């Protein structure tokens, strides 16, 4: 399968269905589409995780009204009803990406850009104008096994395994990217933590998007 495989005629409609009888983790990962490799399915744990986003300060709201239309009769099935919607405010949370390939980091960067351009909306009522958000990344922490002399190189999962494992799991290239020096580097024993500010994240995201194109 390609990163964005679309099932053909006679194929199952989801990667989870197609992998129901697979046993080897390498086969399941390799033959899942790119989106499922990042977010997971019933047979595959995703690489990404999102915390709850809590309001940072006051959140202005409005009460709006709507009705539910029956798809069969095209008449009003329920309503009118009230909805309290957030029309502003800032919400803060964390996105964690674990054991990732560089194209997966790039795919998330593309998604965040799409949100900021209004191309990707979140949650309920998107066809009613809801779900339009902008995403700001003020800080990024990267923890990886690496000597301090490598603090200008960002490595994906493929850089930590041999060629045979890479082939079995279908890991993509590139497996490393040159990145700017981090604002702060901290040694934590056998691994290091790098902390980037928003400008550092912008540079990382632009470079990681090229990994999506290469894959």
Give per-residue pLDDT as tens, 86-119: 999 999 999 999 999 999 999 999 999 999 998 9
Q: Report the C-alpha gap between 72 and 89 in whole angstroms.
A: 38
Query: Mean pLDDT highest for which of 100-109, 169-178, 206-215?
Result: 100-109
Would you say residue 1 has pLDDT above 50?
no
- Provide the domain limits for residue 4: 1-46
Beta bridge partners of 25: none
Eight-state DSSP code of residue 123: S
**Do 124 and 205 belong together in one domain?**
yes
**Do 105 and 61 belong together in one domain?**
no
| Residue 101: closest CA among 3, 174, 24 | 174
**Do 107 and 13 belong together in one domain?**
no
Number of domains in the chain: 3
**Do 70 and 27 belong together in one domain?**
no
| Residue 172: closest CA among 139, 136, 214 | 214
Q: What tokens appear for 60 in the block?
A: 């202005």
**Do 121 and 157 belong together in one domain?**
yes
**Do 64 and 9 belong together in one domain?**
no
Beta bridge partners of 97: 48
Q: Report the C-alpha gap between 198 and 200 in whole angstroms.
A: 5
**Do 82 and 98 belong together in one domain?**
no
**Do 83 and 156 belong together in one domain?**
no
Q: What tokens appear for 132 in the block?
A: 């339009």
Would you say residue 168 has pLDDT above 90?
yes
**Do 179 and 206 belong together in one domain?**
yes
């Amino acid at each position: 399968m390609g990163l964005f495989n679309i099932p053909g005629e006679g194929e199952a409609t989801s990667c989870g269905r197609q992998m129901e009888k697979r046993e080897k983790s390498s086969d399941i990962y390799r033959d899942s589409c790119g989106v499922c490799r990042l977010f997971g399915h019933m047979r595959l744990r995703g690489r990404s995780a999102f915390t709850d986003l809590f309001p940072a300060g006051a959140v202005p709201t409005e009460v709006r009204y709507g009705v539910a239309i029956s798809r069969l009769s095209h008449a009003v099935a329920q309503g009118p009803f009230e909805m309290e919607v957030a029309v502003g405010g800032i919400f803060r949370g964390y996105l964690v990406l674990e054991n990732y390939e560089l194209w997966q980091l790039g795919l998330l960067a593309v998604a965040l850009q799409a949100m900021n351009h209004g191309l990707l909306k979140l949650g309920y009522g998107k066809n009613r104008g809801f779900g339009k958000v902008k995403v700001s990344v003020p800080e990024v922490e990267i923890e990886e096994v690496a000597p301090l002399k490598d603090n200008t190189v960002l490595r994906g999962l493929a850089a930590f395994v041999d060629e045979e494992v890479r082939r079995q799991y279908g890991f993509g290239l590139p497996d490393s990217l040159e990145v700017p020096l981090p604002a702060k580097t901290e040694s934590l024993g056998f691994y290091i933590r790098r902390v980037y500010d928003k400008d550092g994240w912008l540079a990382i995201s632009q470079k990681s998007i090229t990994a999506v194109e290469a894959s």
